[in-house]
C-alpha cells in the first residue's frame, strides 16, 4: 500500500472504494510498528482509538456520507495538544503520566472532521528546541538520514509525514517549530496567522508566540488541514473572529501579477551556499511563472532573535510555573512544600527547559524588567512595522526557511548555536503573520531545503497559492526518503 | 507625645457574578470541596482564561459610584509567586493599567462630621483557592487544597492614606460596604470572606509633614476586628515611638482571639512578582457608550437616599440613617409610605416593630418579611381610623408576623375592635370610680395623676379595647363633676 | 554579567533546586545568551510602543453564563497526592 500519497489522493481512493480508512490505518500502524523504533516520531501510539475512529469512517464512506476532506485520514498530533483520556506529556518527565480530562479545540475539530489520530508526536520538551533531541523520552531521527535531526520542536509529526508514518500532522510554531522541521524533512509546514487556529488545549510555551499549524506532503494537504482546524474559538480570547475561506479554491490561480519581496537580511554570511542557491533558483521559478520580484528590507531582522530570547523565555517561565507537583504530573518528595516543589521541577524539567525558565525569570525580575522585557517588547513592534512596510509594497516575502539543512545529532551542543537555527523563522512569529515552508531542492548529500513564503495577516490564501504554483512547477514534493 | 494616625485600606470584595472571573464555573459559596472547578480555574496545562463581561460591568458600576476615572484602556497582568492555593502559581490581576483610578467615598463619622476619603485605584483579579491545614499552619505536617474559590472574581479597591483613626477606618468600611451592597455587586458578608480588608498604618508626630514607617495589617475579618486591630496597632506604634524605638516596615497578622497583631516572619528574600501583561487576554478598550449606560442605570446610593429621606419625608437624621441601612429596608419603607402617607408614623413602626424582628441590613430577610409594606400600611390605617388602639396594634403586628395574615382578619377573628360606645364606656368608668374611692380622694386633693390610674383600670378591664381618648375624657368629666 | 548570587536568587524565584555544578554551568550559559541579548541595547526604541500581542484585538469577553463543572474525580485523577476530597501538599514553611 502506498503510504506516501497525499491526503487528497487518499480520500479520493476512499470515495472510489479502492481502500478504506481501516485498511490504511492498519497499514500505518504496521509501518509505525516496523520503523518507529528507528525514527522515534511518536511518544504515544493510540492504536485502539485509531482503529475505532477508522471503523466509523469506513461506515460513512460505505454509506456515501463522508464528513469531509479529512474523514478517515490518519494524522500525527504533536504531544502538546491535550487529548482527553490520552496522556499528554509535552516530551517532559514532569507530565509523563498526565492524562487530560479534556480535548484541545484543535483535537476536537479534527475528531469532528473524522480524522484518525495515530498517536502523539515527539517534540523537544515543552516545544523548546530546534532538533527534537530534547525530548525527555527519545530523539527523533530524520527519515532522509537517520544520523541527522528532523528539526524541531515539532520533529515528531514532521518526520512522521516525511517517513510515511502518518498522512499529515499538526505541530506548533513559536520560533519556527513547524517551518524549520518541515524544511529539514522535505514536507510542507504552515504557520498560519496568530489566532487563526485556537490555542485552547495547546500546552503553552510562549503564549503570545504559539501558533498551531499543519504538516502536509503537499500544499493542497496543508490547505485542507488548515481549513479543518481554523476558525474562531470562544475559549481562546486571542482567537480571531473572521470567516474561514476555502483555502483550496484559489490554489490554481497562479502567481501572475503577485509582487514578491526578497529581503536582503535573509541572505547572510555563514549560511549554507547550497541553501542560498536553491532558494534563489526557486525565486527564479516564481518569476518565470509571472510573479514580480523586488528587493525589500526588513531592517529589524538582526534583532529578532535576541528579542525572541527575551519574550519567549519570559512567557515560558510564567506558563511553566504551574508544574509544581501539587495538582498533576511528577512529584519528588521533599522536606516541606518549597523543597518538594524545587526538587520536582529540578528533576522533572530537562536542561534546556531549566535554562529558559531561568532566563525568563531573570529578564522579568526586578531591576532587569525594563532593560530586557520592556525593551524586547518595543523591538517586537519594530519587527512588526518592518512587515507592515514591506507588505505596503509586495504581496509576499520570499526567503529561505533556515540558513542550513538538517544537522547531525549532537552537533549543536552550544545553546546559542542552536538558537541561530531559528533566525529566519522567528520574525514571522513575532509579527504573527502567516508563513509556509515548501520543499525547494536538495543538497548534494540529499538533504531537503525549504523555501519560505510569508504573507499578510490572515492572508493564508495568497501564501498557499504561491506555494502551490511553485510546487506544481517543480517535483521536489514528490521525492520520498528510502526507508527499508 | 501625640501622633497623627495615617491609615489606608485595601478592600477585596468578591463580586456576585454567577460565574468565575475567567471560566464558567459557578461561584456558589459552601459547595463540597473541589466540586466547582474545571480545567481552566484549576490551571490545567493548555487552558486559557476568558473575561467575564459582568465582572467588568460590576467593576465599572462600582468605580462610577466612587467617582473614579474609568481608564479607557486597561488590561490584565500576571503576578507571580508560588503558593499551592493558586493553581497556576501566578494570579491574573491588574497592575499598571487598572480598571479605574482617582475617586472618593464620602463617609459620615460618628458625631455627625463628614469626611471624603480618596480612592486611589480599583481593579479586578481572580481569587485563590482555600488551604485546610492538618493542625495549625505552624504544626501541620500537610495541608489540603480546595480550588472551589480559585478564580472567583475579586475587586480590589485601594483607598488613599486619608483615614485618621481606627474609628474612621471602621466608618469607611461600613460606608464602602453599604455602597457595594446597594449596587448589588457584592453581598458584603465579611464572615464568609466576601469582603476582606487589609490596612496600612503609620504614625507621625502631630503636625509633621513626613510620613512614618507603614505597617501592613492583615486578617481582620469583621468591622469590629478592623477597629480593634487598628486601635491595638496605633497603640503599639505609639508606645514604640515613645520609647524612642523605630517602627519596622513589615506585615502583621491580627489575632482576634488574643487581641493583638503579630509579625509575620520576615521574608527570606523580598517578593519579586515579575508582572507582565497577560498574553492570553487581549486589552480592554471600554466602549464609552457602555460605560454611560452603566452610569445611567446606577441605583440611588445610601448617602443620597438618606438625604432624600430627610428632605422628602421630613424624617429626623436618625430615622433616615436607620431606614437606609440597606436597599431592601429603604424600599420597604417607601412602599409602606406610598400606602399610608404619614412618614413619621411608618418610620416609628418600622424602626421599633419590624427591626425588632429582623436585622435591617439583611437585604433578603427584609425583602421576604412576612409582613409586606402594604399589610403594615393596612394595620396603621386601622389605628388611624380608631378601629384598634395602638397597644392592640402592637399585639396584632406580632400575630401578623407569626401568621402572615392581614391585620383586619386578625382583628375580626380575635374581636379586637375598639370599644367606643359611650354608654358601655360610662358603665366601665363608673365601676372603676366605685371600686377605687382612694383614687377619687387623691384626685380631689389635687393629685391629677390619680385620673391616669383610673384610666388604666378601665383599659385593663376592657382588655385594652376601650378607646383611650374617650375613657380619659369620661374619667375627667366624672371626677370633676362629682 | 550575571553573578553566582543572582543565579541562586533566580533559581529560588523559579523554584528550581540546582546543584552547585548546575548553578555554575547555568551562570556560564546564561551569560553567553545575555551577551547576545545585550545587542538589543543598540536599538533605538525612543517613542516606540511595546507589542504584547501580535494581532491587535480588543474587548474579548464572555457572558456570565454558568457551564457545567468537571466531576471532582476527573479533577483529582492526576493529583500526585490526595486526601479524600482534597489535593494534599507537604507542610508549608513560610519563606
Residues A389-437: pLDDT tens digits? 999 999 999 999 999 999 999 998 888 878 888 999 999 999 999 999 9
Long-range residue pairs from B399-403, CB within 8 A, at least 24 positions apart, any chain: B400/B370, B400/B371, B400/B375, B401/B357, B401/B370, B401/B371, B402/B370, B403/B370
Q: Is C67 on the interface with B (CB under 8 A)?
A: yes
The DSSP H or E segment spanning B91 is strand B90-93
Q: Note the pLDDT of residue B341.
A: 94
Residues B126-149: pLDDT tens digits? 999 999 987 776 777 899 999 999
Q: DSSP character for C85? A: T
Q: Do B46 and A104 touch (CB under 8 A)?
A: yes
Helix, strand or coil, per DSSP, at residue B52 = strand
Q: Note the pLDDT of residue B170.
A: 93
Q: Per-residue confidence at A7, pLDDT binned at 50, 70, 90?
A: very high
Q: Taking 60 as the threshold, does the pLDDT of residue C50 lie above it?
A: yes
- Cα A163 from Cα A36, distance rounded (Å): 9
- Structural domains in chain C, sorted by start: 4-42 (1.10.20.60)
Q: Do B46 and A202 touch (CB under 8 A)?
A: yes
- Cα A453 from Cα A438, distance rounded (Å): 8
**Closest by CA position to A375, among listed B280, C46, B79, B78:** C46
Q: DSSP character for A403? A: S
Which of A201, A321, A363, A430 to probe the B interface (max B CBs under 10 A)?
A321
- Cα A294 from Cα A300, distance rounded (Å): 19
Q: Per-residue confidence at B473, pLDDT binned at 50, 70, 90?
A: confident
Does residue C61 contact residue B51 with C-beta atoms inside 8 Å?
yes
pTM for the model: 0.90
Q: DSSP character for A94? A: G
Q: Taking the CB of residue B137, how many other CB atoms lie within 10 A of it?
A: 12
Q: Note the pLDDT of residue A484.
A: 65
How many pairs of residues across A and B have Cβ atoms under 8 Å apart? 99
What's the Rg (C-alpha) of chain C? 22
Q: List Cα–Cα distances, B256 to B83, B173, B188, B226, B227, in angstroms.
A: 24, 18, 20, 10, 11
**Percent of chain C scoring above 70 in pLDDT:** 98
Q: Note the pLDDT of residue B244.
A: 92
- Cα A452 from Cα A184, distance rounded (Å): 12
Residues of chain C contacting residue B38, judged by C-beta atoms under 8 Å apart? 67, 69-70, 75
Residues of chain B contacting residue A98, judged by C-beta atoms under 8 Å apart? 45
Residues A58-78: pLDDT tens digits? 999 999 999 999 999 999 999
Q: Note the pLDDT of residue B265.
A: 61
Residue range B383-389: mean pLDDT, rounded: 85
Q: List Cα–Cα distances, B70 to B103, B106, B287, B290, B292, in angstroms.
A: 10, 19, 11, 12, 11
Which among B34, B53, B264 has CB closest to C61? Answer: B53
> Going along A269-359, which residue ranges are E strands?
292-296
Sheet with B276-277, strands from edge to edge, namely: B90-93, B77-80, B276-277
Q: How far is A279 from chain B (nearest CA, A)?
A: 35
Q: Do A346 and C17 touch (CB under 8 A)?
A: yes
Residues in Cβ contact with A75 at an 8 Å cutoff, skipping those fewer than 6 apart: A110, A115, A116, A117, A118, A166, A167, A168, A169, A170
Q: List Cα–Cα distances, B285 to A457, B56, B81, B258, B297, in angstroms.
A: 22, 12, 28, 48, 21
Residues B405-443: pLDDT tens digits? 999 899 888 878 877 777 788 888 888 888 888 888 888
- Cα A255 from Cα A219, distance rounded (Å): 15
Q: Do B143 and C83 touch (CB under 8 A)?
A: no
- Cα A14 from Cα A20, distance rounded (Å): 5
Q: Taking the CB of residue A252, how many other CB atoms lie within 10 A of it?
A: 11
Task: Name the packing angle between helices B422-435 and B449-461 (round to 10°).
Answer: 120
ipTM score for this prediction: 0.97
- Cα A464 from Cα A466, distance rounded (Å): 6
Q: Is B140 on the interface with A (CB under 8 A)?
A: no
Residues A450-461: pLDDT tens digits? 999 999 999 999
- Cα B27 from Cα B21, distance rounded (Å): 9
Between β-strands B3-14 and B153-159, what pairing exists: parallel, antiparallel or unpaired? Answer: antiparallel
Q: Is C67 on the interface with A (CB under 8 A)?
A: no
Residues in Cβ contact with B201 at an 8 Å cutoff, skipping those fewer than 6 apart: B5, B6, B7, B214, B215, B217, B230, B233, B234, B237
Cite the active site residues of A: 78, 153, 177
Q: Note the pLDDT of residue A388.
A: 97
Q: What are phi and psi of A112, to 5 degrees?
A: -65, -25
Residues in Cβ contact with A333 at an 8 Å cutoff, skipping those fewer than 6 apart: A340, A343, C90
Q: Do B18 and C64 touch (CB under 8 A)?
A: yes
Q: How far is C2 from chain B (nearest CA, A)?
A: 17
Q: DSSP character for B418? A: P
Residues of chain B contacting residue C94, judged by C-beta atoms under 8 Å apart? 264-265
* Residue C62 CB-half CA count within 13 A: 25
Q: Is B289 on the interface with C (CB under 8 A)?
A: no
Q: Is the dihedral of CA B323, B329, B332, B338 positive or negative?
A: positive
**Closest by CA position to B228, among listed B205, B202, B257:** B257
Q: Do B39 and C70 touch (CB under 8 A)?
A: yes
**Closest by CA position to B31, among listed A452, C85, C17, A387:** C85
DSSP structure string for A385-398: HHHHHHHHH-SEEE
Q: Is the dihedral of CA B319, B323, B325, B330 positive or negative?
A: negative
The three-point CA angle A415-A200-B273 to 5° equals 60
- Cα A21 from Cα A11, distance rounded (Å): 9
Q: Note the pLDDT of residue B440.
A: 83
Residue range B180-191: mean pLDDT, rounded: 91
Q: Is C55 on the interface with B (CB under 8 A)?
A: no
Q: How far is C78 from chain B (nearest CA, A)?
A: 10
Residues A170-209: pLDDT tens digits? 999 999 999 999 999 999 999 999 999 999 999 999 999 9
Q: Taking 60 as the threshold, does the pLDDT of residue B259 lie above it?
A: yes
Reading phi first (left if > 0) and then psi (alpha if -120 to 50, else beta), residue B464 is in left
Task: Name the packing angle between helices A21-39 and A7-15 (round to 10°).
Answer: 150
**Percent of chain B scoring above 70 in pLDDT:** 98
Does residue A98 contact residue A329 with C-beta atoms inside 8 Å?
yes
**Percent of chain A scoring above 70 in pLDDT:** 100
Q: Note the pLDDT of residue B270.
A: 61
Does residue A77 contact residue A109 with C-beta atoms inside 8 Å?
no
Residues of chain A contacting residue C37, judged by C-beta atoms under 8 Å apart? 306, 309-310, 363, 372
Q: Note the pLDDT of residue B268.
A: 42
> Scanning every residue of chain C, which has its alpha carbon at the shortest distance from the alpha carbon of A235?
C62
Q: Is A295 on the interface with C (CB under 8 A)?
A: no
Residues of chain C contacting residue B132, judged by C-beta atoms under 8 Å apart? 86
Residues C77-94: pLDDT tens digits? 999 999 999 999 999 886
Q: Is C40 on the interface with B (CB under 8 A)?
A: no
Residues in Cβ contact with A242 at an 8 Å cutoff, skipping those fewer than 6 apart: A232, A458
Q: Taking 80 as the threshold, does the pLDDT of residue B482 lie above it?
A: no
The DSSP H or E segment spanning A307 is helix A301-319
Residues of chain B contacting residue A315, judged by C-beta atoms under 8 Å apart? 276, 279
Q: Note the pLDDT of residue B266.
A: 54
Residue range B87-104: mean pLDDT, rounded: 97
Which among B42, B48, B274 has CB closest to A199? Answer: B48
**Closest by CA position to B98, among listed B270, B275, B292:** B275
Alpha helices in A208-300 (DSSP H): 219-229, 273-288
Q: Per-residue confidence at C44, pLDDT binned at 50, 70, 90?
A: very high
- The mean-pLDDT minimum among A443-447, B87-91, B142-146, B444-448 falls in B444-448
Q: Per-residue confidence at B287, pLDDT binned at 50, 70, 90?
A: very high
Q: Per-residue confidence at A45, pLDDT binned at 50, 70, 90?
A: very high
HEC string of A98-139? Answer: CCCCCCCHHHHHHHHCCCEEEEEECCCHHHCCCCCCCCCCCC
> Scanning every residue of chain A, which has its alpha carbon at the shortest distance from the alpha carbon of C30?
A359
Q: Tell me the average pLDDT of chain A.
A: 97
Q: Taking 60 as the threshold, does the pLDDT of residue A147 lie above it?
A: yes
- The mean-pLDDT minimum among A74-78, B299-303, C3-7 falls in B299-303
- Cα B392 from Cα B415, distance rounded (Å): 11
Residues A286-337: pLDDT tens digits? 999 999 999 999 999 999 999 999 999 999 999 999 999 999 999 999 999 9
Q: Tell me the average pLDDT of chain B.
A: 91
Q: Do C92 and B131 touch (CB under 8 A)?
A: yes
Which among A193, A342, A358 has CB closest to C10? Answer: A358
Q: How far is A433 from chain C (nearest CA, A)?
A: 8
Between β-strands B100-108 and B114-126, what pairing exists: parallel, antiparallel or unpaired? Answer: antiparallel
Q: Do A309 and C91 touch (CB under 8 A)?
A: no
Which among A80, A104, A235 has CB closest to B50? Answer: A235
Q: How far is B123 from chain C (nearest CA, A)?
A: 16
Amino acid at each position: 500500500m502506498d503510504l506516501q500519497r497525499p491526503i487528497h489522493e487518499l480520500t479520493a481512493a476512499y470515495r472510489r472504494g479502492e481502500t478504506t480508512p481501516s485498511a490504511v490505518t492498519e497499514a500505518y500502524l504496521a509501518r509505525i510498528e516496523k520503523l518507529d523504533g528507528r525514527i522515534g516520531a511518536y511518544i504515544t501510539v493510540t492504536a485502539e482509538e485509531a482503529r475505532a475512529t477508522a471503523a466509523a469512517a469506513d461506515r460513512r464512506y460505505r454509506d456515501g456520507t463522508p464528513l469531509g476532506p479529512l474523514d478517515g485520514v490518519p494524522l500525527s498530533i504533536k504531544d502538546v495538544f491535550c487529548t482527553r483520556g490520552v496522556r499528554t506529556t509535552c516530551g517532559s518527565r514532569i507530565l509523563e503520566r498526565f492524562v487530560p480530562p479534556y480535548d484541545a479545540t484543535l483535537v476536537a475539530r479534527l475528531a469532528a472532521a473524522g480524522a484518525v489520530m495515530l498517536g502523539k508526536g515527539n517534540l523537544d520538551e515543552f516545544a523548546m528546541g530546534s532538533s527534537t533531541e530534547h525530548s525527555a523520552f527519545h530523539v527523533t531521527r530524520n527519515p532522509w538520514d537517520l544520523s541527522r535531526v528532523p528539526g524541531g520542536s515539532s520533529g515528531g509529526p514532521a518526520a512522521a509525514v516525511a517517513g510515511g508514518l502518518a498522512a499529515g500532522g499538526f505541530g506548533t510554531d513559536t520560533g519556527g517549530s513547524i517551518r524549520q522541521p518541515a524544511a529539514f524533512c522535505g514536507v510542507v509546514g504552515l504557520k498560519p496567522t496568530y489566532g487563526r487556529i485556537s490555542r485552547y488545549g495547546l500546552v503553552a510555551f510562549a503564549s503570545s508566540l504559539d501558533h498551531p499549524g499543519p504538516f502536509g506532503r503537499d500544499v493542497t494537504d496543508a490547505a485542507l488541514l488548515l481549513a479543518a482546524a481554523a476558525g474562531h474559538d470562544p475559549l481562546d480570547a486571542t482567537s480571531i473572529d473572521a470567516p474561514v475561506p476555502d483555502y483550496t479554491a484559489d490554489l490554481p490561480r497562479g502567481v501572475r501579477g503577485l509582487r514578491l519581496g526578497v529581503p536582503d537580511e535573509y541572505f547572510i554570511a555563514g549560511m549554507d551556499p547550497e541553501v542560498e542557491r536553491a532558494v534563489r533558483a526557486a525565486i527564479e521559478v516564481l518569476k518565470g511563472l509571472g510573479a514580480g520580484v523586488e528587493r525589500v528590507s526588513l531592517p529589524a531582522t538582526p534583532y529578532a532573535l535576541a528579542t525572541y530570547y527575551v519574550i519567549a523565555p519570559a512567557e515560558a517561565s510564567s506558563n511553566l510555573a504551574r508544574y509544581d507537583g501539587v495538582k498533576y504530573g511528577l512529584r519528588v518528595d521533599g522536606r516541606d512544600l518549597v523543597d518538594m516543589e524545587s526538587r520536582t521541577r529540578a528533576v522533572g524539567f530537562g536542561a534546556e527547559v531549566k535554562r529558559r525558565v531561568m532566563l525568563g525569570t531573570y529578564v522579568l525580575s526586578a531591576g532587569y524588567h525594563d532593560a530586557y522585557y520592556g525593551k524586547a517588547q518595543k523591538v517586537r513592534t519594530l519587527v512588526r512595522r518592518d512587515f507592515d512596510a514591506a507588505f505596503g509594497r509586495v504581496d509576499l516575502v520570499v526567503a529561505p526557511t533556515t540558513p542550513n539543512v538538517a544537522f547531525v545529532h549532537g552537533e549543536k551542543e552550544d545553546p546559542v548555536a542552536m538558537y541561530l537555527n531559528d533566525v529566519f523563522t522567528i520574525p514571522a512569529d513575532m509579527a504573527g503573520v502567516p508563513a509556509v515552508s515548501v520543499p525547494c531542492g536538495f543538497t548534494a548529500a540529499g538533504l531537503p531545503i525549504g523555501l519560505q513564503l510569508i504573507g499578510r495577516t490572515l492572508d493564508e490564501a495568497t501564501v498557499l497559492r504561491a506555494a502551490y504554483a511553485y510546487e506544481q512547477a517543480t517535483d521536489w514534493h514528490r521525492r520520498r526518503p528510502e526507508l527499508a | 507625645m501625640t501622633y497623627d494616625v495615617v491609615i489606608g485600606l485595601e478592600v477585596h470584595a468578591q463580586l456576585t457574578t454567577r460565574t468565575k472571573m475567567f471560566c464558567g464555573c459557578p461561584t456558589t459559596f459552601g459547595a463540597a470541596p473541589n466540586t466547582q472547578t474545571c480545567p481552566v480555574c484549576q490551571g490545567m496545562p493548555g487552558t486559557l482564561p476568558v473575561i467575564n463581561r459582568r465582572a467588568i460591568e460590576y467593576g465599572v458600576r462600582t468605580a462610577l459610584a466612587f467617582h473614579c476615572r474609568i481608564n479607557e484602556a486597561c488590561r490584565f497582568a500576571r503576578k507571580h509567586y508560588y503558593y499551592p492555593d493558586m493553581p497556576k502559581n501566578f494570579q491574573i490581576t491588574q497592575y499598571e493599567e487598572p480598571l479605574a483610578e482617582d475617586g472618593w467615598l464620602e463617609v459620615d463619622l460618628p458625631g455627625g462630621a463628614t469626611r471624603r476619603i480618596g480612592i486611589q485605584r480599583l481593579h479586578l483579579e481572580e481569587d485563590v483557592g482555600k488551604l485546610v491545614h492538618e493542625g495549625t499552619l505552624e504544626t501541620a505536617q500537610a495541608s489540603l487544597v480546595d480550588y472551589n474559590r480559585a478564580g472567583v472574581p475579586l475587586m480590589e479597591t485601594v483607598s488613599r492614606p486619608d483615614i485618621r483613626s481606627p474609628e474612621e477606618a471602621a466608618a469607611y468600611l461600613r460606608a464602602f460596604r453599604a455602597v457595594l451592597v446597594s449596587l448589588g455587586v457584592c453581598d458584603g458578608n465579611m464572615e464568609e470572606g466576601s469582603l476582606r480588608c487589609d490596612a496600612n498604618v503609620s504614625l507621625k508626630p502631630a503636625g509633621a509633614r513626613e510620613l512614618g514607617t507603614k505597617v501592613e495589617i492583615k486578617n481582620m475579618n469583621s468591622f469590629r476586628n478592623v477597629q480593634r486591630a487598628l486601635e491595638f496597632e496605633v497603640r503599639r506604634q505609639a508606645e514604640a515611638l515613645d520609647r524612642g524605638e523605630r517602627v519596622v516596615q513589615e506585615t502583621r497578622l491580627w489575632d482576634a482571639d488574643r487581641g493583638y497583631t503579630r509579625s509575620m516572619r520576615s521574608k527570606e528574600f523580598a517578593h519579586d512578582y515579575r508582572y507582565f501583561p497577560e498574553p492570553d487576554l487581549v486589552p480592554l478598550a471600554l466602549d464609552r457608550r457602555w460605560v454611560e449606560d452603566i452610569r445611567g442605570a446606577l441605583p440611588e446610593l445610601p448617602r443620597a437616599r438618606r438625604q432624600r429621606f430627610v428632605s422628602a419625608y421630613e424624617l429626623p437624621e436618625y430615622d433616615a440613617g436607620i431606614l437606609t441601612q440597606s436597599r431592601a429596608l429603604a424600599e420597604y419603607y417607601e412602599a409602606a409610605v406610598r400606602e399610608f402617607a404619614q412618614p413619621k408614623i411608618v418610620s416609628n413602626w418600622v424602626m421599633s416593630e419590624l427591626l425588632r424582628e429582623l436585622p435591617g441590613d439583611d437585604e433578603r430577610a427584609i425583602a421576604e418579611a412576612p409582613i409586606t409594606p402594604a399589610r403594615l400600611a393596612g394595620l396603621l390605617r386601622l389605628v388611624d381610623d380608631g378601629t384598634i388602639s395602638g397597644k392592640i396594634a402592637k399585639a396584632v403586628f406580632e400575630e401578623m408576623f407569626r401568621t402572615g395574615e392581614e391585620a383586619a382578619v386578625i382583628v375580626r377573628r380575635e374581636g379586637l375592635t375598639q370599644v367606643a360606645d359611650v354608654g358601655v364606656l360610662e358603665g366601665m368608668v363608673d365601676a372603676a370610680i366605685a371600686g377605687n374611692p382612694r383614687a377619687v380622694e387623691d384626685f380631689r386633693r389635687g393629685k391629677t395623676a390619680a385620673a391616669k390610674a383610673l384610666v388604666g383600670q378601665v383599659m385593663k378591664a376592657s382588655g385594652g379595647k376601650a378607646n383611650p381618648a374617650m375613657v380619659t375624657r369620661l374619667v375627667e368629666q366624672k371626677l370633676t363633676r362629682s | 554579567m550575571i553573578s553566582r548570587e543572582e543565579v541562586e536568587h533566580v533559581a529560588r524565584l523559579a523554584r528550581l533546586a540546582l546543584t552547585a555544578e548546575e548553578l555554575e554551568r547555568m551562570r556560564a550559559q546564561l551569560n553567553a545568551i545575555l551577551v547576545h541579548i545585550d545587542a538589543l541595547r543598540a536599538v533605538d526604541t525612543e517613542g516606540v510602543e511595546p507589542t504584547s500581542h501580535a494581532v491587535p484585538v480588543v474587548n474579548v469577553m464572555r457572558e456570565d453564563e454558568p457551564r457545567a463543572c468537571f466531576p471532582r474525580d476527573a479533577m483529582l485523577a492526576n493529583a500526585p497526592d490526595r486526601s479524600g476530597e482534597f489535593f494534599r501538599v507537604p507542610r508549608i514553611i513560610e519563606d
